[in-house]
């Protein structure tokens, strides 16, 4: 059997042709053709006014938080369980991430925990659509309105998901996507920021290109960032985006196969799919029920011994050495995150997975649970 990869793209002749066109023709008057087309189409799909392509999703978050005026002394709420990229830009701006618990079904931000954590310093709430799952958006939007604190949606893992018919990426004042090589559509490295507000858009466009003053060449009114996209990268993103339905169908098929093949084992939890959510399942998460007495560490070790790759459910951010002193502060507060994370793994989600490989992974899980 060929090597099993955790994650990876599905590239066809279509992408190769579009990228070739960008290489041949995407210069001079066409230097931003694919960037502009991709931004426009991506925003339209999400019913947003503006799309801004960025070098990756982390820079998109940094750009947005900067434009929102997040600064030293501010607090920004994030879920405990997410990739560190959601929270790192808060620290770049010398603000403080405040880690909130997740809820047990969706594994996304728990609205009750958010409400308890709000202080006079809270300046934003970043919700994350974890593994393609959707948070309890109605409740989170109510809290955002009640306290007048803007919501930001990190939809890096949820391209193609929706909540009550609204696309992931349409929630809050801005949303971000990742096109990292491990994501559902890829540009190798890449990201997108989606916005509706004109002023915020102007500010982000200004911040992403060295604070240039419009109409005056080489004249800068502030020291800012250089977060510009590249046309060839955008061509790849656009071509992948045109195949989104096919890519999401494959992700869902992988998810369905895992679920079906493991359906006879009791007390296993997978990505949530309540009837009002369409889950594009960037990655299949598997949380072992307590009756199995299986930790993620143990499961990963045993899988590895069989040559089967898995990854840990995201660690609670507060438990990581990157946030010294936070574990003591949060571990008795964010109980669900610490508990779920300790029992959860991610199964391979590469878009080149074969049925045989999925069988092998499921047999591996079966084996470690029967020992």
Contact set with ligand PLP (CB under 6 A)? 56-58, 82-83, 85-86, 128, 154, 156-157, 178, 180, 191
Q: How far is the CB of 171 from ligand PLP (least distance, A)?
A: 14
**Cα-Cα-Cα-Cα dihedral sign, residues 250, 37, 207, 169:** negative
- Residues in a beta bridge with 175: 153, 194
Closer to ligand PLP at the Cβ: 58 or 184? Answer: 58
Closer to ligand PLP at the Cβ: 85 or 299? Answer: 85
Q: How far is the CB of 238 from ligand PLP (least distance, A)?
A: 17
DSSP calls for 205-250 = HHHTBTTBPTTSTT-BSS---B----HHHHHHHHHHHHTHHHHHHH
CB atoms within 10 A of CB 76: 25
Q: How far is the CB of 157 from ligand PLP (least distance, A)?
A: 5
Cα distances from 126 to residues 40, 76, 97, 150, in angstroms, run 24, 7, 10, 9
Q: How far is the CB of 55 from ligand PLP (least distance, A)?
A: 8
Q: Is the separation of the CB atoms in 18 and 239 below 8 Å?
A: yes
DSSP calls for 38-67 = HHHHHHHHTT-SEEEEESSHHHHHHHHHHH
- 165/170 Cα distance (integer angstroms): 11
Closer to ligand PLP at the Cβ: 302 or 318? Answer: 318
Q: How far is the CB of 367 from ligand PLP (least distance, A)?
A: 29
CA 340 to chain centre: 19
Q: How far is the CB of 156 from ligand PLP (least distance, A)?
A: 3
Closer to ligand PLP at the Cβ: 337 or 362? Answer: 337
Closer to ligand PLP at the Cβ: 132 or 364? Answer: 132
Of 208, 177, 205, give the one whose Cα is nearest residue 191: 177
Residue nearest to ligand PLP (CB): 57
Q: Is the separation of the CB atoms in 123 and 98 below 8 Å?
A: no
Annotate 104-121 with b (16+ C-beta within 10 A) or e (fewer).
eebbbbbbebbbebbeee
Q: How far is the CB of 54 from ligand PLP (least distance, A)?
A: 8
């Amino acid at each position: 059997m060929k090597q099993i990869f955790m994650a990876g793209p599905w590239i066809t002749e279509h992408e190769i042709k579009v990228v070739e066109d960008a290489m041949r023709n995407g210069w001079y008057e066409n230097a931003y053709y694919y960037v502009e087309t991709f931004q426009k189409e991506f925003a339209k799909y999400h019913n947003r006014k503006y799309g801004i392509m960025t070098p990756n999703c982390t820079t998109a978050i940094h750009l947005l938080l900067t434009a929102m005026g997040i600064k030293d002394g501010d607090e920004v709420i994030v879920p405990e369980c997410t990739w560190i990229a959601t929270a790192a830009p808060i620290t770049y701006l010398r603000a403080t991430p405040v880690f909130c618990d997740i809820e047990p079904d969706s594994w996304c931000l728990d609205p009750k925990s958010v409400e308890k954590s709000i202080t006079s310093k809270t300046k934003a709430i970043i919700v994350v659509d974890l593994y393609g799952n959707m948070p309890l958006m109605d409740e989170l939007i109510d809290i955002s309105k009640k306290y007048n604190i803007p919501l930001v949606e990190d939809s890096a893992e949820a391209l193609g998901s929706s909540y009550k018919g609204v696309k992931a990426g349409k929630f809050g004042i801005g949303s971000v996507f990742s096109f990292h090589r491990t994501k559902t559509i890829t540009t190798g490295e890449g990201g997108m920021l989606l916005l509706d507000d004109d002023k915020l858009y102007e500010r982000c466009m200004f911040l992403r290109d060295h604070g240039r003053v419009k109409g005056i060449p080489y004249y800068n009114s502030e020291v800012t960032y250089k977060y510009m996209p590249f046309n060839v990268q955008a061509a790849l993103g656009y071509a992948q985006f045109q195949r989104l339905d096919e890519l999401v169908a494959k992700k869902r098929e992988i998810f369905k196969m895992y679920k079906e093949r493991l359906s006879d084992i009791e007390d296993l939890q997978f990505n949530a799919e309540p009837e009002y959510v369409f889950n594009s399942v960037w990655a299949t998460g598997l949380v072992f029920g307590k009756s199995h007495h299986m930790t993620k560490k143990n499961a990963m070790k045993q899988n590895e011994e069989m040559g089967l790759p898995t990854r840990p459910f995201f660690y609670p951010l507060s438990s990581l050495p990157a946030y010294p002193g936070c574990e003591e502060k949060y571990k008795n507060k964010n109980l669900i995150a610490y508990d779920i994370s300790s029992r959860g793994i991610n199964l391979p989600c590469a878009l080149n997975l074969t049925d045989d490989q999925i069988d092998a992974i499921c047999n591996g899980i079966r084996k470690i649970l029967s020992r």
